[in-house]
Amino acid sequence: MPSPLLAAYKRCADNERLCFGIKGEEDCVDTNDCTVLYSSFANSESTGVLGTVEFELYWNRGTTSGDRYMALALSNDKKMGSDTVTECILDVSGIPRLAYGWTDGHDGAENIDTDTSIKELGHSFNSGIVYCRWSRVPVFTIKNTEFNLLNSSYYLLLAYGPLKPDGKNIDFHTQKKASSTSVNLQKNGILKGEPIDILIKLHGLFMIIGWLGCVSIAILIARHYKNSWPDSTLCGVKLWFAIHRTLMISGVVFII
């Protein structure tokens, strides 16, 4: 692992930064293996304004991924919409750049040409690691919405994904993750990710039961057991067919 990334994880472990990471559904900061690592701390030196927050994003992208951006949104809830977004985009030239956006529902981020609350502090792409760093004044307004990094708490939304065919604007994310709680960005610590929704877990469980359980067994019954139990019937049909039909109906119920 490149030394700048190791140093970033150490600052997280030493409680010198506010940290959050994304790697599938796992919490990854403690294990030092995030795909995207977020780091921030309150620092007045970059702008001379008390409460200014300095942000860093590290993306362990590698050299072959088709994804071209990572993004951070500050949100009043855990969902995309009415959020300020900072994007770190890896151009086809291999040089990262910052872009700014505003989300409105789930239609993606609207580009903002300039964001006077942000000061760019650096970027790089070395050894497969994309890095962007910037600072933000503590109080600013975008789209008539005030953000107060001194006194208010926000959810962090991380994402990465490809660019649109124009090579300039971000497309639908490959992976996203929201922090489990809102946080004041003046504080340090390690944030956990939002756990998987129970409905998503149930959906996955029912799909496994339906397809791998009911439907698979029903096919095996029809394929290999037609000549079994020749004299047995259930509800007026041969036993093998009754079992097959019951399993197929159960499979449809679980899948739907």
Topology of the domain comprising 3-194: Immunoglobulin-like (2.60.40)
**131 burial via Cβ count (<10 Å: 0-12, 13-18, 19+):** buried
* Comma-separated ranges of CATH 2.60.40 domains in the chain: 3-194
Token pair of 66, please? 């088709």
Question: pLDDT tens-digit profile of 163-192?
Answer: 888 877 888 888 999 999 999 999 999 998
Q: Tell whether the model's pLDDT for residue 74 goes beyond 90.
A: yes
Q: How far apart are CA 6 and CA 244, in angstroms?
A: 57
pLDDT for res 108:
64
CA dihedral 177→39→72→199, nearest 10 degrees, is: 10
Of 116, 128, 56, nearest in space to 90 by CA: 128
Dihedrals phi, psi of 26, to nearest 5 degrees: -85, 150
Dihedrals phi, psi of 189, to nearest 5 degrees: 145, 180
pLDDT for res 171:
87
First vs last C-alpha separation in the chain: 45
Question: pLDDT tens-digit profile of 202-226?
Answer: 777 888 888 888 899 989 988 888 8
Q: What value does the mean pLDDT take over residues 41-50?
A: 81
Q: What is the pTM of this model?
A: 0.75
Question: pLDDT tens-digit profile of 132-173?
Answer: 999 999 999 998 899 999 999 999 999 999 988 887 788 888
Q: How far apart are CA 63 and CA 90, in angstroms?
A: 11
Q: What value does the mean pLDDT take over residues 76-99?
A: 89
- 136, 42 in Cβ contact below 8 A? no
